[in-house]
Amino acid sequence: MRYPKVNYIGNKEKIADWIASVIPEDATSFFDAFCGGCSVSYKAKSLGLQVFSNDILTVNYHIAKALIENDSQTLSEDDLRVIFGGEPAEGFMYSHFANRFYFPEECRELDRIRSNVELLNHPLKQSLTFALLRRAMIRKMPYSRFTINWEKITELRDEEISYAKYGRRRSYHNKTFRYHFEDNLDRYNEAVFSNGRSNKAYNLDIYDAIDQVDADVIYLDPPYAGTMNDYYGFYGLLDSYINGKMQQPFAHSFTDKRLIKQQLCDLFARLSKYRYWMLSYNSRSTPSREEMSELLSRFAGDITVYEMPYAYRVTGKEKKNKDTEYLFLVNTRL
Ligand SMILES: C[S@@+](CC[C@H](N)C(=O)[O-])C[C@H]1O[C@@H](n2cnc3c(N)ncnc32)[C@H](O)[C@@H]1O
pLDDT digits (tens, 9 = 90+) for 16-69: 999 999 999 999 999 999 999 999 999 999 999 999 999 999 999 999 999 999
> Which of 231, 242, 256 has most ligand 1 atoms within 8 Å of its beta carbon, as the pocket-test mutant?
231
Whose CA is closest to 72, among 246, 247, 192?
A: 192
How many Cβ atoms are within 10 Å of 300's Cβ, its own excluded? Answer: 17
Quick: pLDDT tens for 155-164.
999 999 999 9
Q: Is the pLDDT of residue 320 over 70?
A: no
Q: Any idea where the domains of the chain sit in the sequence?
A: 13-331
Strand partners, 302: 331
Q: Is the pLDDT of residue 5 over 60?
A: yes
Whose CA is closest to 30, among 61, 52, 55, 63?
A: 52
Q: Which residues form the pocket of ligand 1, taking CB atoms under 6 Å from any ligand atom?
A: 8, 10-12, 34-37, 39-40, 55-57, 60, 205-206, 221-223, 231, 250, 252-254
Q: Given this model, what pLDDT does residue 312 score?
A: 59
Query: Taking residues 177-201, what's their average pLDDT?
Result: 98
Kind and range of the H or E element at 156?
A: helix 150-157
Alpha-carbon distance of 68 to 58, in angstroms, equals 15
- Counting from 1 in the atom list of ligand 1, the atom nearest the Cα of 12 is 8
Q: Given this model, what pLDDT does residue 260 score?
A: 96
Q: Given this model, what pLDDT does residue 60 score?
A: 98
Let me know: does 48 contact 21? Beta carbons within 8 Å: no
pLDDT tier, 322 (very low <50, low <70, confident <90, very high otherwise):
confident
DSSP 209-255: HHHH---SEEEE-PPPTTSS--HHHHHHHHHHHHHTSPPPPPS--S-
> Which of 56, 144, 260 has most ligand 1 atoms within 8 Å of its beta carbon, as the pocket-test mutant?
56
**Atom 12 in ligand 1: which residue has the minimum CA distance?**
34
pLDDT tier, 314 (very low <50, low <70, confident <90, very high otherwise):
low
> Which of 38, 55, 327 has most ligand 1 atoms within 8 Å of its beta carbon, as the pocket-test mutant?
55
Q: Given this model, what pLDDT does residue 226 score?
A: 87
CA distances from 94 to 15, 101, 152, 165 (A): 39, 10, 20, 30
Q: Given this model, what pLDDT does residue 301 score?
A: 84
pLDDT tier, 310 (very low <50, low <70, confident <90, very high otherwise):
confident
Q: Is the pLDDT of residue 247 over 90?
A: yes
Q: How far is the CA of 165 from the centre of ligand 1 (A)?
A: 34
Q: Is the pLDDT of residue 317 over 60?
A: no
Report the CATH fold assignment for 13-331. Rossmann fold (3.40.50)
Range with the lowest mean pLDDT among 5-9, 117-121, 321-325? 321-325
- Counting from 1 in the atom list of ligand 1, the atom nearest the Cα of 39 is 8
Any idea what the Cα angle at residue 260 is, between residues 259 and 261, rounded to 5°? Answer: 100
Name the CA radius of gyration of the chain, rounded: 20
pTM over 0.85, yes/no: yes
| Long-range contacts of 284-288, Cβ-Cβ distance < 8 Å, separation of 24 or more | 284/224, 284/226, 284/227, 284/312, 284/321, 284/323, 285/224, 285/225, 285/226, 285/227, 286/225, 286/226, 286/257, 286/260, 287/225, 287/260, 287/261
Mean pLDDT of the chain, nearest integer = 95
Q: How far is the CA of 163 from the centre of ligand 1 (A)?
A: 35
Alpha-carbon distance of 93 to 306, in angstroms, equals 44
Alpha-carbon distance of 267 to 205, in angstroms, equals 12
Q: Is the pLDDT of residue 211 over 70?
A: yes
Query: Taking residues 293-303, what's their average pLDDT?
Result: 94
Alpha-carbon distance of 21 to 38, in angstroms, equals 17
Query: Taking residues 74-81, what's their average pLDDT?
Result: 98
pLDDT tier, 179 (very low <50, low <70, confident <90, very high otherwise):
very high
Q: How far is the CA of 177 from the centre of ligand 1 (A)?
A: 26
